[in-house]
């Protein structure tokens, strides 16, 4: 009987996969009616500041997130205030670092579209939850659980976003390892 109660309690409460910089990151989420599993999580640092906790969700955590099809999520929880322009500029710099100039130039209109959405928010505030979702057909920005702005078209754009953290020149090499599920 006690075992059944224990199992019922486990099922009644969400499971927490990890805690990163004091932020609890769920082991599962859903995007476009698709169950996703946490591939890995870590913290983005800039100099000695912790900027955000981040988790990567995919269908198959053991497969390459850049090439596997279907919905995905990058879940960011801000650990400090960052201006919208600075946030967008950091994303654009990460894209430029991981793409040839012609590809980065082709992505610029969609980077500007994302920047315009962020500009409406004014800043990424401490505690804010920012999800970058790939639905299988478009990128959605979800802020504190609510869609923000218009969807951004093109799987190439979402892959470019992923390369910020997972590309050949990631924004932070140890964060890349953490997002790919390497033990820290």
What pLDDT score was predicted for residue 184?
A: 53
Name the pLDDT band for 114 (thresholds 50, 70, 90): very high
| Residue 4 belongs to a domain | no
SS3 category, 152: strand
| Residue 3 belongs to a domain | no
Q: DSSP per residue over 125-145, as a string?
A: -TT-EEEEEE-SSEEEEEETT
Name the pLDDT band for 182 (thresholds 50, 70, 90): confident
In Å, how far are 46, 51, 82, 89, 90 from 86, measured between CA atoms?
A: 12, 12, 7, 5, 6
| Residue 5 belongs to a domain | no
pTM: 0.89
Q: Residue 103: pLDDT above 50? A: yes
Name the pLDDT band for 96 (thresholds 50, 70, 90): very high
What pLDDT score was predicted for residue 18?
A: 87
Task: Note the pLDDT tens digit of each residue in 24-51.
Answer: 999 999 999 999 999 999 999 998 899 9
| Residue 25 belongs to a domain | yes
CA dihedral 58, 64, 68, 70 (to 10 degrees): 10
Q: What is the CATH number of the domain that holds 140?
A: 3.50.70.10
Q: Which residue range is the domain that position 23 belongs to?
A: 15-179
- As a whole number of angstroms, the longest Cα–Cα distance in the chain is 64
Please, what is the average pLDDT of the chain? 91
Report angle CA 173, 174, 178 to the nearest 5 degrees: 120
| Residue 175 belongs to a domain | yes
Number of domains present in the structure of the chain: 1
Name the pLDDT band for 166 (thresholds 50, 70, 90): very high
| Residue 2 belongs to a domain | no
In Å, how far are 15, 44, 180 from 54, measured between CA atoms?
A: 17, 7, 12
């Amino acid at each position: 009987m006690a075992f059944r109660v224990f199992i019922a309690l486990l099922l009644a409460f969400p499971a927490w996969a990890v805690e990163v910089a004091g932020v609890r990151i769920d082991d599962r989420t859903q995007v476009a009616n698709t169950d996703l599993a946490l591939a890995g999580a870590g913290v983005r640092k800039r100099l000695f500041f912790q900027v955000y906790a981040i988790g990567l969700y995919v269908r198959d955590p053991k497969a390459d997130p850049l090439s596997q099809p279907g919905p995905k999520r990058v879940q960011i929880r801000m650990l400090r205030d960052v201006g919208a322009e600075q946030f967008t500029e950091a994303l654009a710099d990460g894209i430029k670092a991981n793409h040839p100039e012609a590809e980065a130039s082709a992505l610029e209109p969609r980077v500007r579209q994302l920047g315009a959405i962020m500009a409406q928010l004014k800043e990424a505030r401490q505690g804010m939850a920012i999800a970058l979702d790939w639905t299988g057909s478009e990128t959605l920005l979800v802020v504190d659980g609510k869609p923000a702005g218009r969807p951004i078209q093109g799987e190439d754009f979402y892959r470019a976003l992923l390369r910020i953290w997972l590309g050949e020149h990631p924004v932070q090499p140890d964060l890349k390892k953490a997002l790919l599920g390497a033990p820290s």
